[in-house]
Amino acid sequence: MIGIFDSGYGGLTILGQIRKVLPEYDYLYLGDNARAPYGTRSFDCIYHYTLDAVRYMFSQGCTLIILACNTASAKALRTIQQHDLPLINAQMRKWENEKIVNVLGVIRPTVEVVPSITRTGHVGILATPATVSSESYVLELDKIASTIYGRSLIVTQQPCPMWVPLIEAGEHNSDGAKYFIRKYLQELLARDPMIDTLLLGCTHYPLIQPAIDAELASLGHPCKTIAQGEIVARSLADYLQRHPEYETQLQKSGSCRYLTTDDAERFSSAATLFLGNTVQAERIELTVNQ
Ligand code: DGL
């Protein structure tokens, strides 16, 4: 099974695209809605919450987990890969014959395509405060742009602390949301008016992409806005081809189970809206010792 994790609804934007490209696999989606948003929390908190979720998803039979959350990818992925995965894999080997598992993020696949899209070389990153403070996008883009594309980019980040709470509350089409969309875009473009490419560096933001595009047009600054779903989906397809050690362990009945740490009915109706098909969710508890 492939696990898709997010603090809440945002990862559904990634899951939808992944299932379009790879419909044959079985999926487990987990939204930690009870503890969302993650993006205004400390490193320690994001790391421990993400680790709880990852452990739970492995206990449910996942082989590969995608952190479909930039905040968790920026703050928790490296520590989980370096510190926790070796221990989890050692345990797996004891319990289940030769099973190996892995956790992947969404930042690396995204930065691999951004340098090929911008013409001016000026890129804006819209993300949660935690992702911005990690500097992950700035550092990774700098590395990839110079080593793979032989160019340097001017990268300007904009924290958008109100967007995820508005989306999680179902208020993303309200006047309040419009106000905060304009505010953050104006702040960013005032700092770098040469930006021609805007990365939606939070998986919740595709839900307000049409409103962002409309606001950019009304500010007289049309930009290319990039959502990550398709990019991550293509990158996962490529990864599975290159890694049969995981691919051969995956079940292929095309199923998808939805889990949330908050109210199941509320999750089902929001997810149904975001994915365009009916979804039944189950409520689970994430406890520290799975
Ligand atoms: N969707 C998430 C991200 O990509 C999380 C946002 C949050 O929980 O603050 O960063």
Per residue in 214-251, pLDDT (tens digit) is 999 999 998 999 999 999 999 999 999 999 999 999 99
The enclosing H or E element of 45 equals: helix 43-59
Decide: 202 and 130 in contact? Cβ < 8 Å.
no
- Could you identify the atom of ligand 1 that is nearest to the CA of residue 106? 4
Give the Cα separation of 107 and 85 in Å (integer): 19
Model pLDDT, residue 232: 98
User: Environment class of residue 97 by beta-carbon count within 10 Å: exposed (0-12), middle (13-18) or buried (19+)?
Assistant: exposed
Chain-centre distance for alpha carbon 186: 24
Element (H, E) at 78: helix 77-79
The full set of domains in the chain, from first to last, is 2-105+229-283 (3.40.50.1860), 108-226 (3.40.50.1860)
- What's the start-to-end Cα distance of the chain, in Å? 18
Mean of the per-residue pLDDT values of the chain: 94
What distance in angstroms lies between residue 223's CA and the mean position of ligand 1's atoms? 22
What lines the ligand 1 site, CB under 6 Å? 6-8, 10, 36-39, 69-71, 128, 131, 164, 202-204
Residue found under tokens 């899209």: 117
pLDDT for 93 equals 82
Contact criterion met (CB below 8 Å) for 53 and 30: yes
Sheet holding 102-104, edge to edge: 102-104, 64-67, 2-6, 27-31, 256-260, 281-283
Instruction: Identify whether the C-beta of residue 201 lies closer than 8 Å to the C-beta of residue 79.
Output: no
Q: In what order do the strands lie in the sheet with 154-159?
A: 154-159, 122-127, 197-200, 224-226
**Is the pLDDT confidence value at 124 over 90?**
yes
pLDDT confidence of residue 290: 45
**pLDDT grade for 96, boundaries at 50, 70 and 90:** confident
pLDDT of residue 76: 97
SS3 category, 283? strand
Ligand 1 centroid–CA 160 distance in Å is 11
Residue from 160, 202, 260, 262 to probe ligand 1 pocket by mutation (most atoms less than 8 Å from CB): 202
202 is an active site residue:
yes
Provide the 10 A C-beta neighbour count for residue 153: 21
Expressed in angstroms and rounded, the spacing between residue 44 Cα and the centre of ligand 1 is: 16
Instruction: Count CB neighbours of 56 within 10 A.
Output: 22
Among 225, 212, 217, 163, residue whose Cα is nearest residue 185: 212
Task: Find the catalytic residue in 62, 202, 223, 256.
Answer: 202
* Neighbouring-strand partners of residue 281: 258
Inform me whether the pLDDT recorded for 201 exceeds 50: yes
Q: State which ligand 1 atom lies nearest to the alpha carbon of 36.
A: 8
Give the number of the atom of ligand 1 that is nearest the alpha carbon of residue 40.
9
Residue 77 half-sphere exposure, CB side, CA atoms within 13 Å? Answer: 22
Exactly one of 62, 69, 223, 256 is catalytic; which is it?
69
Up-side HSE of residue 144: CA atoms within 13 Å toward CB?
17
Within 10 Å of residue 285's Cβ, how many Cβ atoms?
Answer: 8
Residue 76 Cα to ligand 1 middle (Å): 12
CB 3 within 8 A of CB 15: no
Q: How far apart are CA 124 and CA 209, in angstroms?
A: 15
For ligand 1, atom 9, name the residue with the nearest CA.
39
Look at ligand 1, atom 6, and give the residue with the nearest C-alpha: 39
Q: What does the pLDDT look like over 31-82, one tens digit per residue?
A: 999 999 999 999 999 999 999 999 999 999 999 999 999 999 999 999 999 9
CA dihedral sign of residues 164, 169, 171, 177: negative
Torsion sign across C-alpha atoms 256, 9, 65, 156: positive
- Average pLDDT rounded to a whole number, residues 273-285: 91
The residue type at 184: Y
